[in-house]
Structure 1
Amino acid sequence: MLSVSLERARELELVGEERVDPADLSARMERVGISFNDPDHLFYLALEGQAVLLSESFGAETRQLTAADASVFEDFASEAPEEDLDEAFVELDHWLVFGTFIDDRLVSAASMYPWSGTRLADLGVITLPAFRGRGLGRVTVRAMSAEALRRGYEPQYRCQLDNAASVALALASGFTRLGAWEVIDTGE
């Protein structure tokens, strides 16, 4: 399925809900100079999974982060691998931010931001390397996703196709793969 603006549809000579052979569509896109970013997996919580999630309770070590947590978040970010910070896009000033602590140290953090004009909340998560494999990312994602659901938002988990650890975390957190998603590369 392809979703494009009316302007792009005209540029690609697409009419209405026309069915186009994928090879023909690729040729049209190449002809007008459209290229794509690398595809992402797209995961959502099934309705039955949402109900289970909303009934869960999470320990005191996992909680919502606020501006008052700036110093602990800064310490966390200074320890996180640069690649994780770039790919996961976890920020303290996002719409919803959760963290999991061990001995008052932030070791896993996740954040969400709603997509403009939608009830979808895109999420990212980082767990410090020394603390991976303990389920801390899972509990952080689940606690934050439960709060997003309570606020009327649909959690959305995206990750690159080759990020096996993130795919495993999405599945362990109760998400189901909907498909792959490719976005036009705007050069920005």
Structure 2
Amino acid sequence: MSTDPFALFHDWYTEARTTELNDSNAVALATADAEGHPSVRMVLLKGYDERGFVFYTNRESRKAGDLAANPHVALLFHWKSLRRQIRIEGPVSFASDAESDAYFASRSRDSQLGAWASDQSRPLDARATFEARFAEVQARFEGQPVPRPPHWGGYRVTPERIEFWLDREHRLHERRVFTRTHDGWAEGMLFP
């Protein structure tokens, strides 16, 4: 096994991408608001490197409000068929505009239009309201590229702690943990 948490993440993630049937890049994102009330939801990992783990969303959503009030998060990947999970904890920051623009341009046109039409996480009186807004946005951008909305972009989680959990029989699991230090990573193990 690697002693570099990013190399180990890459190995496990690559295997999950080839073996998991649905959304192998799905990750639970846990946040807390200014009062410390927790919230968790699934997001999709759209990039990672030594700087951190990147996901994209509406920056006016509930999760974005939590991130603004308390910019510390936890991520959890769980690949049941591989009997593995990875926990990541650390502060979050904005991905660059260039990164956000590039990813937005790679999305399907309907997903791009949906980002304009949706007031993500806000109350909706009826599905027809959203569908009408989608049709309006569709007409607005007819025949032209859809630019990234100013309220939409990426977030990068900079890991301070990464735990790799491997299921073992009789709940005798293997847990390796990496903690960021001033000059790299310290590695240890945890009781199951």
**Higher percent of residues as strand:** 2
Greater length-normalized contact order (CA 8 Å, ≥ 6 residues apart): 1
For the superposition of Structure 1 and Structure 2, which TM-score range results when normalised by the shorter chain? Answer: under 0.3
TM-score by length of 2: 0.24
